[in-house]
């Protein structure tokens, strides 16, 4: 009987933790799009704006998608003609802050898509937070820009 009570106590404790206290529960992904790559290209770039509405920092460890062989976050380092891109190990967004992945700056690299990415398509990517929570987001493939 004691064991039974304890189990219920644990369960109600889990239910009382507000959803938003988990990293990925408090994020909002806006304006998520992928630039349609030229037909011969084996990589595409993706962009988005991420808003952290929570009271704790959100830490995105990686972004996954079944669309492609590999999805990685990239940052652009250096200045002027010395610029180069490098993998971004993780993305940390403080409470009430916004992170923007925009052309010429941070971006997603979508390597070797299974099928050609064409404008109008929707690609689902999953943001994985450091506490194991995740958030799925649809990226729209856009021509040009
Ligand atoms: Cu890159």
CA angle 74, 53, 24 (to 5 degrees): 55
Runs of H (alpha helix) within the chain: 2-16
Residue span of the structural domain in which 54 resides = 22-142
| Within a domain: 51 | yes
| Tally of CA atoms within 13 A in the half-sphere of 12 that contains its CB | 6
Indicate yes or no: pTM above 0.75: yes
pLDDT at residue 6, rounded to an integer: 55
Cα(52) to centroid(ligand 1), Å: 24
Share of the chain above pLDDT 90, in %: 79
Ligand 1: centre distance to CA 42 (Å): 12
- Could you tell me how many residues make up the chain? 145
What separation in Å is there between the alpha carbon of 130 and the centre of ligand 1? 22
Q: Looking at residues 110-139, what average pLDDT do you find?
A: 96
Q: What is the pLDDT of residues 18-74, one digit of tens each?
A: 444 568 999 999 999 999 999 889 999 999 999 999 999 999 999 999 999 999 999
Distance 85 CA to ligand 1 centre (A): 5
How far is Cα 65 from Cα 77, in angstroms, rounded to an integer? 25
In a domain, 105, yes or no: yes
Residue 80 lies in a domain: yes
Q: Are 105 and 98 in contact (CB under 8 A)?
A: no
- For residue 118, being part of any structural domain is answered with yes
| Structural domain contains residue 111 | yes
Q: Which CATH number fits the domain that encloses residue 109?
A: 2.60.40.1890
Tell how far the Cα of 17 is from the centroid of ligand 1, in angstroms. Answer: 37
Q: How far is the CA of 70 from the centre of ligand 1 (A)?
A: 12
Domains identified in the chain, total number: 1
Any domain includes 17: no
Residue 8, pLDDT above cutoff 60: no
């Amino acid at each position: 009987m004691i064991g039974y009570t304890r189990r219920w106590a644990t369960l109600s404790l889990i239910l009382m933790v507000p959803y938003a206290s988990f990293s990925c529960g408090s994020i909002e992904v806006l304006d998520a799009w992928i630039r349609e790559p030229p037909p011969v290209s084996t990589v595409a770039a993706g962009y988005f704006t991420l808003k952290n509405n929570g009271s704790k920092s959100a830490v995105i460890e990686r972004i996954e998608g079944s669309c492609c062989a590999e999805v990685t976050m990239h940052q652009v380092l250096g200045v002027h003609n010395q610029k180069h891109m490098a993998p971004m190990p993780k993305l940390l967004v403080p409470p009430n802050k916004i992170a923007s992945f925009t052309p010429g700056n941070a971006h997603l690299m979508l390597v070797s898509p299974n099928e050609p990415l064409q404008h109008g398509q929707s690609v689902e990517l999953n943001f994985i937070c450091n506490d194991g929570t995740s958030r799925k987001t649809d990226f729209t493939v856009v021509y040009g820009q």
